[in-house]
Structure 1
Amino acid sequence: MSAVYRRFVTVIGKWPIDPTKAGTNRDFGEVLRKKFSETFNQGESSKVNEVFWNKELESLEKIAESHYKSKYPRRSQSSSSGLDYQTLKSILSNDSIAELSETE
């Protein structure tokens, strides 16, 4: 069981919390940490479905290591909206969403 626990800890370390989305359950690193604490509520001695979590962790590791980004490179640096990464990140920040909520 401790192998799954340690593997999960390693995967969590690859996802820092994005301060522009923290506290809203919109940040993947934060959601992943919450899932970890729920799953391993007794630490390494927690009883979990190892087969299930090994599959989940394999998928998370591939995402963290940019496996598919390397396998299927993007042709463009913009999205379907035509906006670049930094602009989209700014729009999706907690501050921008709060501003939009205030104007409604």
Structure 2
Amino acid sequence: MAATRYRRFLKLCEEWPLDQTKKGRDLGAFIRQKVAQGFREGESSQIADPEKCDRMYESLARIHSAYYKNKYPRLRNTSFTGVTVEECRLVLATDNMKQLEEMKKGMWKKIREKFTRKPEDATKEYA
């Protein structure tokens, strides 16, 4: 029985898309990691709570198939702010998040970082 569950999870992982713009924060990568941890021994893995495992699979399958998106359709394809899905993806990309963090730094912190020497820089000067 564990072999069937393992194959179902593997199929779900294969179908689940990876978002390359969200490195380290992607749901697909997180699910793959958790499946690998849960089924360390592959098809011969022992499952402590089969009902919980089945419920988890069904929940992930509903999210992947957009079950709730289809069950409760939206009137508009924007949020309350008027931002579209594509604009949200751009803002939430890892590279853009790093830029926003850089912009959030205060003036004093930027100046201090600019003028503080790193230990490897100090050794180069004396060599």
- TM-score normalized by the length of structure 2: 0.76
Distance of 2:38 and 2:91 partners within structure 1: 32
Which residue of structure 2 aligns with residue 14 of structure 1?
A: 15
When the two chains are superposed, the root-mean-square deviation of aligned CA atoms in Å is 1.0
Which residue of structure 1 aligns with residue 4 of structure 2?
A: 3
Distance of 2:40 and 2:80 partners within structure 1: 40
What are the equivalent positions in structure 2 for 1:22-41 lying under 5 Å apart? 22=23, 24=24, 26-41=25-40
Which residue of structure 2 aligns with residue 42 of structure 1?
A: 41
Structure 2 gaps of 5+ residues are 106-127
Distance of 1:28 and 1:101 partners within structure 2: 22
What are the equivalent positions in structure 2 for 1:75-94 lying under 5 Å apart? 75-94=75-94
Query: Of the two structures, which has the highest relative contact order with CA contacts closer than 8 Å and spacing of 6 or more?
Result: 1
**1:67 shift after superposition:** 1.1
**1:80 shift after superposition:** 2.4
- TM-score normalized by the length of structure 1: 0.92
Structure 1 gaps of 5+ residues are none
- 2:32 corresponds to 1:63: no
Which has the greater radius of gyration?
2
1:18-62, CA deviations, whole angstroms, 9 ceiling, x for partnerless residues?
00002x2x2110100010111011111111122111001011111
Distance of 1:101 and 1:61 partners within structure 2: 34
Moved over 3 A (4+): none
Identity %: 34
Distance of 2:58 and 2:44 partners within structure 1: 21
Count residues in correspondence: 102
Letter aligned with residue 47 of structure 1: Q
Distance of 1:17 and 1:43 partners within structure 2: 22
Letter aligned with residue 58 of structure 2: E
Distance of 1:89 and 1:53 partners within structure 2: 31
